[in-house]
Chains A and B, each alone.
Chain A
Amino acid sequence: MLQFAVAGPLVRGWAWIVDVIIRFCLLMLIVFLFSDLLSNQEAELFIAGILIIVQFVLAWLYTSLYEGLTGATPGKKMFGLKVIHENATPLTGSGAVIRNFLRAIDGLPVLNAVGLICMLIDNRFRRIGDLAAGTVVVYQDKRPHHSAEKAAQATSPPASLTKEDRQAIVDFAERSIFLSKDRQLELANLLKHHMKDESDPVATLKGWADWIMGGQYNAQSKDI
């Protein structure tokens, strides 16, 4: 079963603001590039024409094209979001068109109010465009990486561990690099009374983890 973390209104709001800023900057960039050419009325008309077209493309096609081709606008990418269909397949071109053209309704009356209300009602934070296109905005997977510290030596854990216990112990070892020494000790101390050698609970716990990961775990273990 594929699982995704659905993105909420706040992070999507930030992504939207970033996209608005990017588009504004692009428009300003064009004004800036052509500003030297504003010598006569004729050139002014030309540039005004270009600006109108660019503004139209940015308003209507920027999001559709980005999402249709890459699954996320630059703003969404920045916040680690992407748009997918509800069956977890990548966003299709028509899906991108539907959900982005319906921004005309979601954006009403100001600042995406309609879309926000719809998102807050829906259990998957879908706005009207998402409902019509069958899409959800989710967090892109962060690639997890193995980070277990090597224990000094594998020691056999108590025999009565359940599957969840074993998993918790391994998780402790793998996540210990994100924890301070004090926090590690605090956590390891919770299991102190199960340890034969109580001198260094953290090392013992990591030894157990190493045993669970690599050692043959069996009921014959004599340690309790």
Chain B
Amino acid sequence: MLNQKTFEQQHKQTWAELDECLTALEATRLFRKRKTDSAHHLPTLYANLCQHHAIALSRGYSHTLVDTLHAQINRAHHQLYRYQGNWLARTMRFIGGGFAAAVRKEAKLFGIACLLFFGTALVAGSFAAYSEDIAELILGGRTKFNIEQMYEPNTFDIRPANMEDASSFYMFGFYIANNIGIDFRVFASGIVFGIGSVFFLLLNGVSIGAAAGHLSAIGYVDTFWGFVAGHSAPELLALCISGTAGLMLGRALISPGQQSRALALLRNAQAAVPLVLGAGLMTLVAAFIEAYWSPLEFALPIKVAVGLLIWVVFGAYLLFAGRAK
């Protein structure tokens, strides 16, 4: 049997070559192009190294050698299997249609999420519009008072005078943190057998619907609908999409199909990521519109027309973007 020193002597060069190759690969960063000519040797070197490790292990060479080889294998493994792609191109592909395609793939769950949200919104809105008592019951006295104050036509301007820019930016930040945070939570809470997502969709549907119904009934149509028309499409669709992502987690646990629950969860979570990230981006767009367009004072028909146009744009995007030609 070959002794350890001779073995090390024999393979010293392979190991040094691999080390050099790995060091070069590890130096590559996000924006720096890899400049390694030896990279294409990596698979061969890796295979050799694995063999050396197995030999060292079976012959009972020292733990130091075995551990060193094992550490090198891990390094090489990491380089071999890490994601290597142009992240910018990947992002563009995602926005350009990958996201819409991912949503369409879950059209059924998306339909359920929309039904949960818009359905309850419609019901709650009708009841709230029908009777002010019901509106107060749903919204709570304080919230009802607050939104009445907020959309009071005579005093309506959410931005303090002379500070429009700063105020818009502050609200932009607030909408980002609050609304995208809600999207992410709606997704995460889906892990509880989907119950969390359903709950949040219903909760938001009821409160938004009741507010809309009540404010319409007391005649604050211009201020309320004029304000929300612009950003309603991306914000509400994003909420339903993150709800869909949450329902996917729930589905994996409730009806995993022909696979274990653990595997179903893994796959569904993986497939839900584009929906969550896309919903986040949509809500970012919504926050921008809400902060910089929605407070502007235009006549209601213009506001509503623009709002409808945005609905059409997002609807068309979700329906048609990223379809195979």
Once the chains are docked, how many angstroms separate the CA of A2 from the CA of B268?
Answer: 27
Once the chains are docked, how many angstroms separate the CA of A163 from the CA of B56?
Answer: 12
Whether the pair B177, A89 counts as a contact (CB closer than 8 A) is no
A41 at the interface (CB under 8 A from B): yes
Whether the pair A52, B60 counts as a contact (CB closer than 8 A) is no
Smallest Cβ distance from A39 to chain B, in angstroms? 12
Known pairs A104-B188, A143-B71, A146-B64; A213 contacts B4 (CB<8 A):
yes
Chain A positions within 8 Å of B1 at CB level: 217
Whether the pair B74, A2 counts as a contact (CB closer than 8 A) is yes
Q: How many residues of B contact A (CB 8 A)?
A: 59
B269 at the interface (CB under 8 A from A): yes
Chain A residue at minimal CB-CB distance from B162: A42
Q: Which stretch from B34-42, B109-117, B164-172, B297-305 is at the chain A interface?
A: B164-172
Which residue in A43, A49, A92, A212 is a CB contact (below 8 Å) of B3? Answer: A212
Q: Which stretch from B120-128, B135-143, B178-186, B233-241 is at the chain A interface?
A: B178-186
B5 at the interface (CB under 8 A from A): yes
Chain A residue at minimal CB-CB distance from B69: A144
Chain A positions within 8 Å of B262 at CB level: 131
B78 at the interface (CB under 8 A from A): yes
Q: Mark B154-177, 1 if CB is under 8 A from A, else 0.
A: 000000101101110111111011
Residues in A189-224 with C-beta less than 8 Å from chain B = 212-217
Chain A positions within 8 Å of B81 at CB level: 88-90
Whether the pair B170, A105 counts as a contact (CB closer than 8 A) is no
Which residue in A132, A148, A170 is a CB contact (below 8 Å) of B269? Answer: A132
B88 at the interface (CB under 8 A from A): no
B265 at the interface (CB under 8 A from A): yes
B52 at the interface (CB under 8 A from A): no
Interface centre among A42, A128, A143, A174 (most CB of B within 10 A): A42
Whether the pair B173, A53 counts as a contact (CB closer than 8 A) is yes
Chain B positions within 8 Å of A134 at CB level: 266
Which residue in A144, A163, A217 is a CB contact (below 8 Å) of B67? Answer: A144
B212 at the interface (CB under 8 A from A): no
B191 at the interface (CB under 8 A from A): yes
B104 at the interface (CB under 8 A from A): no
Whether the pair A174, B63 counts as a contact (CB closer than 8 A) is yes
Known pairs A56-B181, A213-B4, A213-B62; A94 contacts B273 (CB<8 A):
yes
Chain A positions within 8 Å of B4 at CB level: 170, 212-214
Smallest Cβ distance from A52 to chain B, in angstroms? 4
Chain B positions within 8 Å of A101 at CB level: 184, 187-188, 276
Whether the pair B269, A89 counts as a contact (CB closer than 8 A) is no
Chain A positions within 8 Å of B171 at CB level: 49
Chain A residue at minimal CB-CB distance from B90: A93
Once the chains are docked, how many angstroms separate the CA of A51 from the CA of B177?
Answer: 10
Chain A residue at minimal CB-CB distance from B79: A90
Which residue in A4, A167, A215 is a CB contact (below 8 Å) of B62? Answer: A167
B68 at the interface (CB under 8 A from A): yes
Smallest Cβ distance from A146 to chain B, in angstroms? 6
Q: Mark A162-175, 1 if CB is under 8 A from B, else 0.
A: 01101100110010
Whether the pair B188, A49 counts as a contact (CB closer than 8 A) is no
Residues in A61-118 with C-beta less than 8 Å from chain B = 69, 88-90, 92-94, 97-98, 101-105
Chain B positions within 8 Å of A98 at CB level: 269-270, 272-273
Once the chains are docked, how many angstroms separate the CA of A215 from the CA of B192?
Answer: 63
Known pairs A45-B166, A45-B170; A128 contacts B191 (CB<8 A):
yes
5 contacts between A and B (CB under 8 A): A49-B166, A56-B173, A89-B78, A132-B266, A148-B62
Closest 9 CB pairs of A and B: A49-B173, A163-B60, A104-B188, A56-B177, A52-B173, A45-B166, A89-B81, A49-B170, A214-B5
